[in-house]
Amino acid sequence: MEIEKEKVYRAWPSGPPTYQQATSEHLQRITHNKRWNYSLFSCFEPGSLCLMGSCLPCITFGKTQARTRDPELPDFSHCNTQCSLFAFLALLGSQWIIQTVKRGETRERFGIEGSCCGDCCVSFCCSCCAVIQEEKEVELRTRPEYTGYQMTSGMTYP
């Protein structure tokens, strides 16, 4: 039950990050899970994400890609490069190509099991559900309180 409370989607980061090490067992089950924490068909909750992912999937896709670069979304713009690329490809009916590539990158980054063929099938057949699943997954796995303190690149020694 406690894990389900932790898996509530947050559209925007809330408050300053807490840099505690994510060593508790239930946090390890979330961040090191070899499967998606959210089902492909859990795309109806929350309603705001469902509506955005269904009506304007390019914005949700762009937000997910921005979140992978910086989970705090400090300079996020709804109309970004990834959003524009997705929208352009959607006009051609080919958005599933970029979505397949990015879904594979997400799986590799977080160690989620799957294959390129599976990513392609999901992206082609259930594009909106896949966009929502990826946004929820990336948001959950990149929360600072789950990942622990991450030293910035400017703080390294030569």
pLDDT tens sequence across 41-98: 888 888 889 999 999 999 999 999 988 888 888 788 888 888 999 999 999 999 999 9
What pLDDT score was predicted for residue 152?
Answer: 55
pTM over 0.85: no
Distance between CA atoms of 81 and 79, rounded to whole angstroms? 7
From the centroid of its chain, how far is CA 88? 21
| Largest separation between any pair of C-alpha atoms in the chain | 48
What pLDDT score was predicted for residue 95?
Answer: 93
